[in-house]
Amino acid sequence: MPPISDRPLRVCSFESRRAAEMKSLIERSSAIATIAPSMREISLDENPDAFAFADELLAGKVDVMIFMTGVGATALLETIETRHSRTEFFAALERTLVIVRGPKPFAVLRGWGIRIDHRAPEPNTWREVLGIFDELVPLADRRVAVQEYGQPSVEFYQAIESKGATVLPVPVYRWALPLDIEPVRTAVQQTISGEFDILMFTSAQQLHNVLQVAEQEGLRDKWLQAANRLCVIASIGPTATETLTSAGLRVDLEPIHPTMGSLVKESIARAAVLLTGRV
């Protein structure tokens, strides 16, 4: 294999929903893209928790509503509309304190015409949401509903409860492996074979699913070792980084802004230096 300085960088991304966009971003940066979609979004067709939340909200028993993702906010509305009108739902939201985690739920709620009281700053993790409560919103004796996004954020809930509030989790969708796991299986093997220079993660759940596939193949430990030894590990932001490091991966960089474009640009710009000297 030629030295890194003499060839294009080889990048593997586990992006699913925006796979085509990710591939284009990587290739426009003169790198070789491998996209191994690792996630499939499953709506909760029968969602008693969402309907129970709607009943509580409409009855005026929710003080604070936190929207964590744009896709989740949209899915929640679609679920609730099977039993209640959106007019009722929107009117009930107007009677609560509404907080959004980042730009995507912000855009969705603006599209609905809903008043947004607070928006968490970058890098848009639950810790920035919690900071809103530290600085602006007292939580004692309040009921806080949280629109979940795949995995429950137990640490976030505990932090809210430590401030005297009660938490009402609102699960909307969950993540599963894609129907075709062959691209992920192949990417695991290619990582071990040293065929990638950069591994990119745009969500924490991507790692859970990659590790699940690697475990099925009996390659979990080999994949982790190869990823740490041979690749630059690029994470979209603190939430993903926390999951990556807890699994034993060394995260080499996070972009200044938690966007795919910044992730690709900064990873490719710095990869050669970060890889120098690795064996």
- Give Cα separations from 20 to 131, 186, 196 (angstroms): 35, 19, 19
The C-alpha atoms of residue 163 and residue 140 are separated, in whole angstroms, by: 6
| Boundary (domain end) residue, out of 126, 158, 175 | 175
Structure tokens belonging to residue 175: 């993540």
Structure tokens belonging to residue 115: 């008043």
Cβ contact 66:160 at 8 Å: no
pLDDT at res. 134: 84
Looking at the structure, tell me whether residues 145 and 207 fall in a common domain: no
The C-alpha atoms of residue 36 and residue 226 are separated, in whole angstroms, by: 17
Please identify which residue in the block is written with the tokens 């991507």: 206
pLDDT at res. 42: 83
Looking at the structure, tell me whether residues 170 and 188 fall in a common domain: no
Cβ contact 19:255 at 8 Å: no
Please identify which residue in the block is written with the tokens 């990659």: 210
pLDDT at res. 174: 78
Question: What are the residue ranges in the chain where pLDDT is below 70?
Answer: 1-5, 150, 277-279
| Boundary (domain end) residue, out of 159, 175, 191 | 175
Looking at the structure, tell me whether residues 100 and 130 fall in a common domain: yes
Q: Model confidence over 229-249: pLDDT tens digits?
A: 999 999 999 889 999 999 999
Looking at the structure, tell me whether residues 131 and 212 fall in a common domain: no
- Give Cα separations from 159 to 44, 134, 162, 167 (angstroms): 27, 11, 5, 10
Looking at the structure, tell me whether residues 130 and 166 fall in a common domain: yes
Looking at the structure, tell me whether residues 191 and 230 fall in a common domain: yes
- Give residues with Cβ within 8 angstroms of 269, minimum separation 6: none
Looking at the structure, tell me whether residues 62 and 150 fall in a common domain: yes
Q: Model confidence over 43-78: pLDDT tens digits?
A: 777 788 999 999 999 999 999 999 999 989 999 999
Residue numbers of the domain that contains 252: 4-39+178-275
Question: Which CATH number does the domain housing residue 88 bear?
Answer: 3.40.50.10090
Looking at the structure, tell me whether residues 211 and 96 fall in a common domain: no
pLDDT at res. 111: 97
Looking at the structure, tell me whether residues 52 and 156 fall in a common domain: yes
pTM over 0.85: no
Cβ contact 51:89 at 8 Å: no
| Boundary (domain end) residue, out of 120, 147, 175 | 175
Looking at the structure, tell me whether residues 117 and 219 fall in a common domain: no
- Give Cα separations from 77 to 47, 53, 54, 89, 109 (angstroms): 12, 12, 10, 8, 11
pLDDT at res. 278: 65
Report how many domains make up the chain: 2
Please identify which residue in the block is written with the tokens 């790692």: 207
Looking at the structure, tell me whether residues 55 and 142 fall in a common domain: yes
The C-alpha atoms of residue 71 and residue 14 are separated, in whole angstroms, by: 19
* Residue 279: CA count within 13 A, CB half-sphere: 0
Looking at the structure, tell me whether residues 49 and 165 fall in a common domain: yes
Cβ contact 96:65 at 8 Å: yes
Closest CA to 95 of 67, 143, 62: 62
